[in-house]
Amino acid sequence: MINLNLGDCVEAMSKMEDNAYDLAIVDPPYGIDIAKGGKVGGNNAGKAKDYGSKEWDSAIPTSEYFSQLRRVSTNQIIWGWNYFVCYLNECPSYIVWDKDNSGNFSDCESAWCSKKGGARMFKWRWNGMVQQDMKNKEVRIHPTQKPVALYKWLLKNYAKEGDKILDTHFGSGSIAIACHDGGFSLDAWEIDKEYHAAAVNRYNTHISQLRLL
């Protein structure tokens, strides 16, 4: 079951039971105003894309967000953890996504992981218009969109069959496609109406295409 909810994730989590989810995979705002100017990206391969000016990335989540997240989920994978060190006491393990950007933009992103173990890396090119899998190129609908392949890799390596997954900021909906294809149950929240509508449409289009096949 995939549930893509429109609303405030902190308010939603406050009503949940302890350990309601086996794994939370989240990508909260980093507080770097990436969406304020509207246009993101742009290099020799193509022009910057205008996603529309938004204020959602003006600040990082509050301490309550992280407290609720740890309460309602047994384990967590938190992208952009370097921006949230004030709320994360230790790092049992971490994950690196190598974007293979060849020096354009950030070379990688890292995630904090509550599961103990060694550091792990996933390499998947994601450089504006240039993607790892150009035959199945993903349409970019969100300025911080992550590839479906990344979420599939995370589920394969950090989740087990039957796990309930939580996402508090689902943005482009990539995680919904990955969970559907992998047979995982997902509850996800997005507070922005435009992002929510675009992500739901993207997910429904994916489901429709699978049915045709």
pLDDT digits (tens, 9 = 90+) for 18-31: 999 999 999 999 98
Domain contains 39 = yes
Structural domain total, the chain: 1
Domain contains 131 = yes
Q: What is the pTM of this model?
A: 0.91
Contact between 15 and 68 under an 8 Å Cβ cutoff? The reply is: no
Domain contains 43 = yes
**What per-residue confidence (pLDDT) applies to 83?**
93
Domain contains 109 = no
Domain contains 149 = yes
Confidence band, pLDDT 50/70/90 cuts, at residue 62: very high
Q: Is the pLDDT of residue 42 over 80?
A: no
Which of 36-45, 54-63, 129-138, 157-166 comes out lowest in average pLDDT? 36-45
Domain contains 96 = no
- CA distances, 157 to each of 2, 113, 151 (Å): 20, 12, 10
- Position 85, amino acid: V
Q: Is the pLDDT of residue 147 over 80?
A: yes
pLDDT digits (tens, 9 = 90+) for 112-121: 999 998 899 9
Domain contains 160 = yes
Q: Which CATH number goes with the domain that contains 151?
A: 3.40.50.150
Q: What range does the domain containing 200 cover?
A: 2-71+127-212
Domain contains 119 = no
